[in-house]
């Protein structure tokens, strides 16, 4: 039996003497605020970075192994927050089979195993596709399955199930539990529903680890629950009362404004199999749900012109979306993607959010801009940091602050609460309820995120909006949502 022992590990100003023991076959949940060091600890254990002090030991039946001799890539698997960065295969099949071939398995056995793995996690029939063509949730499934297939002694999942719909998550969880006897697992998460399934709960706070014991006992302790912001589950959906009429704070809308469409898909067909014939009125909030790979993100891509229709047309604020009109149309629209770390380009947080502003404005209006950043929970100590050095949740906050700064007419949000801790989620949800003069399309796997704000719900399956219902009627379609993998 193997065990990993983390002994008084320090890393810069982030980790301040972290110690805990993790046994093969044990599932441990790790929670903590954004920026607390969860991902840093994961990278240290995986050997991607080295601690500034302390040590990590691998023991086999109680006997320590020299850490510099441990084949970490075989012993420890890591599925990070950004699956796009972890795919190396040209196809799904190559991604699933690459590690197995490197372990020396017979090629015919690997081919059969790849087909079996792809089918198990809902990627059957996509073996010859490039990973770049998959949705975020599909890429998460692909990377998790590819690493799990190598049967590492220890597996770290850093928010690795966040992009999955309920059905896909259940499939991956089944694989994780099947592997439990041979593979110790560290689940880094902000989701208490997920953490409850673990054997033990650790919380990282002020650079150190607190062992909370059994997760269910920890969540039952309201004092600890509040002290460490462990998160709230949506216990009672009836308490999530839709906010109607949909007139946002500070907004006065006449009848003509409410009926004026700002997005009009007229029999629009796209090469990616997306087909839309829908209108969105000014000031509407559309909650968009559906299974992974159904076309939700592609729908948002169409609204900002990343893809153009091959048939039909899309009008944005009355302007036809085309190559010639892209610049004009995009001035009115902002998109926040699932993986914020993939498209932040500023040299610092400050320059990312206020990108394109003159040097004089950056200096003269600095105090007002710092206040703006604080509204998004971005403290002054982070403003000069490079975005790639932030945690996943912190990058998400920076992306939101950047998108909202220019006051667009249309805001496209693709899983905007991914990777956010309880405090940050509450802050963003409060801001959403107060945003004025905005038309919002909000993609999520969790219906509960939008019930308080949405006017309508769109259920997307196979590139089509198969259900368009007023928010008041969502319960009439609850079984249809659940059958599609939507959490509700």
DSSP 359-388: HHHHHHTHHHHHHHHHHTT--GGGTTS-GG
Last residue within a domain, chosen from 227, 255, 287? 227
Residues 15 and 152 in one domain: yes
- In a domain, residue 315? The reply is yes
pLDDT tens-digit readout, 131-162 = 988 888 888 889 888 988 888 999 999 988 87
Would you state the torsion angle of the CA atoms of residues 416, 420, 423, 424, taken in this order, to the nearest 10 degrees?
A: -50
422-434 helix and 392-404 helix, angle to the nearest 10 degrees: 10
Residues 242 and 223 in one domain: no
Last residue within a domain, chosen from 227, 251, 285? 227
Task: Please give the share of the chain, as a percent, with pLDDT higher than 70.
Answer: 91
- What would the DSSP string read from start to end of 247-297? --TT----HHHHH-EEEEEEEEE-TTS-EE--EEETT-EEEEE--TTSSHH
Residue entry with tokens 């790790």: 30
pLDDT at residue 199, as a whole number: 95
- In a domain, residue 168? The reply is yes
Measured in degrees and rounded to the nearest 5, phi and psi for residue 30 equal -120, 120
- What would the DSSP string read from start to end of 67-133? GGGS-HHHHEEEE-S-GGGG---SSHHHHHHHHHHHTT--HHHHHHHHHHHHHHTT-TT-TTS-GGG
- Residue 89 neighbours by CB under 8 Å, 6+ apart: 95, 96, 97, 98, 131
Residues 211 and 261 in one domain: no
Q: How many domains does the chain divide into?
A: 2
Residues 169 and 32 in one domain: yes
pLDDT at residue 231, as a whole number: 59
Asked if residues 19 and 75 have their Cβ atoms less than 8 Å apart, the reply is no
- In a domain, residue 416? The reply is yes
Hey, CA dihedral for 139, 145, 148, 149, is it positive or negative?
negative
- In a domain, residue 384? The reply is no
Residues 166 and 268 in one domain: no
pLDDT at residue 232, as a whole number: 58
Averaged pLDDT for residues 264-279: 94
Alpha-carbon span 77 to 127, nearest angstrom: 22
Residues 45 and 173 in one domain: yes
Residue 345: count of CB within 10 angstroms of its CB: 8
Residues 455 and 423 in one domain: yes
Alpha-carbon span 123 to 142, nearest angstrom: 8
Least confident of 15-24, 155-164, 216-225, 282-291: 216-225
Residue 429: count of CB within 10 angstroms of its CB: 16
Measured in degrees and rounded to the nearest 5, phi and psi for residue 194 equal -75, -45
Hey, CA dihedral for 134, 138, 140, 141, is it positive or negative?
negative
- The Cα-based distances of 242 to 157, 288, 397, 425, 471 in angstroms read 34, 16, 25, 18, 7
Averaged pLDDT for residues 180-207: 91
- Residue 471 neighbours by CB under 8 Å, 6+ apart: 242, 244, 287, 451, 454, 455, 456, 457
Residue 478: count of CB within 10 angstroms of its CB: 13
Residues 34 and 145 in one domain: yes
- In a domain, residue 84? The reply is yes
Check which CATH number belongs to the domain holding 446 and give it: 3.40.50.300
Residue entry with tokens 């990278």: 43
Q: Which two tokens stand for residue 295?
A: 């076309």
Asked if residues 132 and 339 have their Cβ atoms less than 8 Å apart, the reply is no
Least confident of 96-105, 175-184, 212-221: 212-221
- In a domain, residue 137? The reply is yes
pLDDT tens-digit readout, 28-50 = 999 988 888 999 999 999 988 99
Would the pLDDT of 89 be above 60? Answer: yes
Would you state the torsion angle of the CA atoms of residues 65, 66, 69, 70, taken in this order, to the nearest 10 degrees?
A: 50
With H, G, I as helix, E, B as strand and everything else as coil, classify residue 425: helix
pLDDT at residue 235, as a whole number: 43
- In a domain, residue 91? The reply is yes
Residues 170 and 297 in one domain: no
SS3 content of the chain, % helix, strand, coil (to 5): 40, 25, 40
Q: How confident is the model at residue 340 (pLDDT cuts 50, 70, 90)?
A: low
Last residue within a domain, chosen from 174, 198, 227? 227
Asked if residues 288 and 299 have their Cβ atoms less than 8 Å apart, the reply is yes
Alpha-carbon span 188 to 166, nearest angstrom: 18
Residues 166 and 247 in one domain: no
pLDDT tens-digit readout, 218-261 = 888 776 666 666 655 444 444 443 443 333 333 434 444 556 89
Select, from the ranges 132-146, 319-333, 380-394, 463-477, the one with the highest average predicted confidence (pLDDT): 463-477
Residue entry with tokens 């469409």: 261
392-404 helix and 366-375 helix, angle to the nearest 10 degrees: 120
- In a domain, residue 68? The reply is yes
Alpha-carbon span 121 to 140, nearest angstrom: 10
Q: How many residues does the chain have?
A: 488
Would the pLDDT of 291 be above 60? Answer: yes
Residues 90 and 208 in one domain: yes
Supply the range of the domain harboring residue 97. Answer: 2-227
State how far Cα 136 lies from the chain centre. 8
Measured in degrees and rounded to the nearest 5, phi and psi for residue 459 equal -100, 120
Averaged pLDDT for residues 85-101: 89
Residue entry with tokens 């008084």: 8
Residues 155 and 297 in one domain: no
* Residue (of 372, 384, 380, 374) closest to 347 by Cα position: 384
H/E stretch holding 353: helix 349-353
């Amino acid at each position: 039996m193997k065990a990993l022992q983390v002994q008084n590990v320090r890393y810069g100003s982030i980790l301040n003497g972290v110690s805990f023991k993790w046994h093969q076959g044990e599932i441990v949940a790790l929670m903590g605020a954004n920026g607390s060091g969860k991902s840093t600890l994961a990278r240290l254990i995986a050997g991607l970075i080295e601690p500034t002090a302390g040590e990590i030991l691998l023991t086999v039946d109680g006997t320590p192994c020299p850490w510099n001799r441990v084949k970490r890539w075989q012993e420890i698997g890591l599925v990070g927050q950004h699956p796009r960065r972890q795919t190396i295969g040209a196809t799904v099949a190559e991604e699933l089979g690459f590690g197995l071939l490197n372990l020396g398995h017979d090629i015919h056995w690997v081919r059969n195993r790849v087909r079996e793995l792809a089918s198990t996690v809902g990627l059957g029939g996509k073996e010859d596709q490039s990973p770049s063509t998959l949705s975020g949730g599909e890429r998460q499934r692909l990377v998790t399955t590819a690493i799990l297939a190598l049967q590492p002694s220890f597996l770290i999942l850093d928010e690795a199930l966040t992009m999955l719909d309920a059905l896909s998550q259940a499939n991956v969880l089944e694989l994780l539990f099947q592997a439990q006897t041979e593979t110790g697992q560290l689940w880094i998460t902000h989701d208490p529903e997920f953490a409850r399934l673990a054997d033990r709960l650790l919380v990282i706070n002020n650079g150190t680890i607190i062992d909370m014991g059994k997760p269910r006992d920890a969540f039952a302790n309201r004092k600890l629950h509040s002290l460490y912001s462990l998160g709230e589950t949506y216990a009672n959906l009836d308490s999530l009362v839709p906010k109607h009429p949909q007139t946002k704070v500070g907004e006065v809308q006449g009848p003509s404004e409410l009926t004026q469409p700002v997005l009009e898909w007229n029999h629009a067909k796209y090469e990616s199999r997306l087909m839309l014939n829908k209108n969105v009125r000014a000031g509407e909030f559309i909650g968009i749900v559906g299974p992974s790979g159904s076309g939700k993100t592609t729908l948002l891509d169409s609204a900002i012109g990343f893809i153009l229709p091959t048939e039909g047309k899309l009008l944005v604020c009355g302007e036809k979306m085309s190559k010639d009109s892209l610049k004009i149309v995009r001035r009115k629209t902002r998109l926040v993607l699932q993986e914020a770390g993939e498209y932040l380009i500023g040299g610092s947080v400050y320059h990312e959010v206020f990108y394109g502003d003159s040097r004089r404005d950056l200096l003269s209006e600095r105090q007002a801009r710092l206040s703006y950043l604080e509204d998004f929970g971005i403290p002054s100590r982070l403003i000069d940091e490079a975005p790639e050095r932030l945690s996943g949740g912190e990058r998400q906050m920076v992306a939101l602050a950047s998108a909202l700064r220019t006051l667009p007419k249309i805001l496209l949000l693709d899983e905007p609460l991914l990777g956010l801790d309880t405090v940050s989620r509450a802050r963003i949800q409060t801001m959403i309820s107060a945003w004025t003069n905005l038309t919002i399309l909000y993609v999520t796997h969790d219906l509960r995120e939008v019930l308080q704000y949405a006017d309508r719900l769109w259920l997307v399956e196979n590139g089509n909006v198969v259900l368009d219902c007023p928010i008041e009627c969502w319960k009439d379609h609850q079984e249809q949502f659940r059958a599609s993998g939507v959490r509700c």
